[in-house]
């Protein structure tokens, strides 16, 4: 996941029905349980960081992590799950009916940049959280079960979690928890953008540009018209919309009328429904090129990731544990229900459309040049012990969140009701970046 920046949005309503009681016993047991795993988690974290593997090629990480989970008491492990070589599932079941809480374990790195997105830290936080949750089930005879999903291929639009969703891996799972490192903020209320890729091809008719141009149909002209129409469209888009376009085939030779031209457009929006609107507007620009020139247009739409919709009851639980753990790091988690908007996309977004989700951002000590994710500087920062210790703190807060769900009868129903309301609101487009800015006529000149 890439982090280009963020905007804070204030929403007035406060989360209800969150157990405000925090059993000191649970908190200190989670803390101690994760600290007791320090040495083994550090060596796993270090190995993954030092052996970066690309999307769907996480063979070493898959072997290392599934072997480790097999060595843990009473966990059932499935390797190469759901027809994906590097996907895996580990389950700890109390045997008593109750909620199924889950954590996603990302493992993939970036081409030429290694673990510059810090997925080694995501794996560490989720493993720590899963193991501590199982330990709490064991000690306190809690109901329900905990699942760890080894989710391959998040980078490059691979969508490993989408494949797992479609294969039915999350059937019967009630909540999904994950985290992502950065250097800017600590927040469990992270919203990311939805994106799609549109590939446009124009088919015209070749002709000699000097001899008989009137016989030709210029595919490149069609593409140039589309490119300019998209550029003009940008003036009327929402501040949160992003459209990027490039020409991938600009014709054959300057002395001919071009029979073929092609381009690619990537669009991002605040929600899946806004993305659909934007897609229609861009498609209209493509049609304009075809209409003006007579070339035939073919558009291939590759759906990317949905926006991430965080569950604020789960997020309140996370915040509670984060704030109670000793040595509170900067920056503080924003008060109340402020969203942290990240101009990036993740397949955890698709998970959040299927069940209540938290994708907690956490700040690690920055590198020498304060590089953001996907920079060599961040790759270095994500391998340090300081970063690892932040991931352990995240693991403790995520475990606390899961344990709240398991130990509080009825809480899961309230979390699901909230999720349904959030989904309805998203469909109705009631969440917007504009609504909080308080623009009135005096501000416009
Ligand atoms: Zn990334
Ligand atoms: Zn990432």
* pTM higher than 0.95: no
- Residue that is last in its domain, among 269, 303, 337: 303
Examine the pLDDT at 18 and tell me if it is beyond 80: no
Position 77 scores a pLDDT of 98
* 70 vs 77: CA distance, rounded Å: 6
Q: Which tops the pLDDT comparison, 341 or 415?
A: 415
* 4 vs 165: CA distance, rounded Å: 27
Q: How far is the CA of 308 from the centre of ligand 2 (A)?
A: 13
Short-list 102, 22, 1, 10, CA closest to 357: 102
**Domain assignment present for 434:** no
Q: Which ligand is nearest to the CA of 107?
A: 2
* 396 vs 402: CA distance, rounded Å: 10
Secondary element (H or E) of residue 415: helix 411-427
pLDDT tens digit sequence for 255-282: 999 999 999 999 999 988 899 999 999 9
Asked if 174 contacts 99 with a C-beta cutoff of 8 angstroms, the reply is: yes
Residue 138: domain span: 8-192+307-427
Residues around the ion ligand 2 (C-beta < 5 A) = 1, 117
* 400 vs 358: CA distance, rounded Å: 13
Q: How far is the CA of 148 from the centre of ligand 1 (A)?
A: 21
At residue 445 the predicted structure's pLDDT band, cuts being 50, 70 and 90, is very low
DSSP state of 114: B
Short-list 69, 154, 205, 186, CA closest to 348: 154
Q: Are residues 206 and 237 in the same domain?
A: yes
Q: How far is the CA of 344 from the centre of ligand 2 (A)?
A: 9
Q: How far is the CA of 373 from the centre of ligand 1 (A)?
A: 7
**Where are the extended beta strands (E) located within 204-295?**
207-208, 242-249, 256-257, 260-269
Q: How far is the CA of 330 from the centre of ligand 1 (A)?
A: 22
Domain count along the chain: 2
* 236 vs 242: CA distance, rounded Å: 12
Q: How far is the CA of 17 from the centre of ligand 2 (A)?
A: 32
Say what percent of the chain tops pLDDT 90: 86
**Domain assignment present for 440:** no
**Domain assignment present for 444:** no
Examine the pLDDT at 153 and tell me if it is beyond 60: yes
Position 22 scores a pLDDT of 67
Q: Which ligand is nearest to the CA of 122?
A: 2
Position 249 scores a pLDDT of 98
At residue 428 the predicted structure's pLDDT band, cuts being 50, 70 and 90, is confident
At residue 21 the predicted structure's pLDDT band, cuts being 50, 70 and 90, is low
CATH code of 259's domain? 3.30.70.360
pLDDT tens digit sequence for 64-115: 999 999 999 999 999 999 999 999 999 999 999 999 999 999 999 999 999 9
Asked if 347 contacts 159 with a C-beta cutoff of 8 angstroms, the reply is: yes
Q: Which ligand is nearest to the CA of 123?
A: 2
CATH code of 377's domain? 3.40.630.10
Q: How far is the CA of 381 from the centre of ligand 1 (A)?
A: 14
**Domain assignment present for 50:** yes
pLDDT tens digit sequence for 349-370: 999 999 999 999 999 999 999 9
Examine the pLDDT at 119 and tell me if it is beyond 60: yes
pLDDT tens digit sequence for 225-245: 999 999 999 999 999 999 999
* 221 vs 214: CA distance, rounded Å: 14
Overall average pLDDT of the 294-318 stretch: 95
* 390 vs 125: CA distance, rounded Å: 9
Q: How far is the CA of 434 from the centre of ligand 2 (A)?
A: 27
Q: How far is the CA of 119 from the centre of ligand 1 (A)?
A: 8
Asked if 107 contacts 49 with a C-beta cutoff of 8 angstroms, the reply is: no
**Domain assignment present for 52:** yes
* 420 vs 356: CA distance, rounded Å: 9
User: Dihedral sign, CA of 245, 249, 255, 257?
Assistant: negative
* 319 vs 432: CA distance, rounded Å: 24
**Domain assignment present for 337:** yes
Q: How far is the CA of 361 from the centre of ligand 1 (A)?
A: 13
């Amino acid at each position: 996941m890439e982090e280009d920046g963020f905007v804070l949005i204030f929403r007035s309503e406060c989360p209800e029905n969150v157990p405000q009681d925090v059993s000191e016993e649970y908190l200190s047991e989670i803390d101690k349980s994760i600290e007791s795993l320090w040495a083994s988690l550090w060596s796993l974290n270090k190995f993954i960081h030092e052996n970066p593997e690309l999307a769907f090629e996480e063979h070493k990480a898959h072997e290392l992590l599934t072997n480790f989970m097999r060595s843990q008491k009473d966990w059932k492990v499935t390797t190469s799950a759901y027809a994906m070589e590097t996907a895996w599932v580990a389950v700890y079941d109390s045997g008593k009916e109750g909620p199924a809480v889950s954590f996603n374990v990302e493992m993939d790195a970036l081409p030429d940049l290694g673990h510059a997105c810090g997925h080694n830290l995501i794996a560490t936080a989720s493993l720590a959280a899963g193991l501590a949750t199982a330990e709490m089930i064991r000690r306190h005879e809690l109901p329900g079960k905990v699942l760890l999903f080894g989710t391959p291929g998040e980078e490059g639009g691979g969508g490993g979690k989408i494949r797992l969703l479609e294969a039915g891996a999350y059937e019967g799972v009630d909540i999904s928890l994950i985290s992502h490192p950065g250097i800017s903020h600590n927040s469990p209320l992270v919203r990311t953008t939805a994106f799609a890729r549109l590939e446009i091809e124009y088919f015209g008719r070749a002709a000699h540009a000097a001899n008989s141009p009137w016989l030709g149909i210029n595919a490149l002209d069609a593409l140039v018209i589309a490119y300019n129409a998209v550029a003009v469209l940008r003036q009327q888009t929402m501040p949160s919309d992003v459209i990027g376009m490039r020409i991938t085939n600009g014709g054959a030779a300057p002395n001919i009328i071009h029979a073929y031209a092609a381009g690619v457009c990537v669009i991002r929006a605040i929600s899946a429904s806004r993305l659909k609107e934007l897609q229609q507007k861009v498609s209209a620009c493509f049609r304009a090129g075809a209409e003006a020139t007579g070339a035939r247009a073919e558009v291939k739409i590759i759906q990317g990731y949905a926006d991430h919709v965080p569950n604020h009851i789960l997020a309140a639980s996370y915040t509670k544990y984060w704030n109670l753990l000793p040595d509170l790091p900067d920056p503080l988690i924003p008060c109340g229900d402020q969203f942290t908007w990240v101009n990036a996309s993740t397949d955890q977004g698709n998970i959040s459309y299927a069940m209540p989700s938290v994708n907690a951002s956490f700040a690690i000590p920055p590198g020498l040049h304060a590089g953001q994710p996907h920079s060599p500087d961040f790759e270095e920062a994500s391998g340090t012990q300081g970063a690892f210790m932040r991931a352990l703190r995240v693991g403790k807060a995520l475990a606390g969140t899961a344990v709240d769900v398991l130990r509080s009868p009825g809480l899961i129903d309230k979390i699901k009701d909230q999720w349904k309301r959030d989904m309805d609101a998203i469909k109705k487009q009631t969440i917007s970046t504009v609504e909080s800015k308080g623009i009135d006529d005096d501000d416009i000149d």
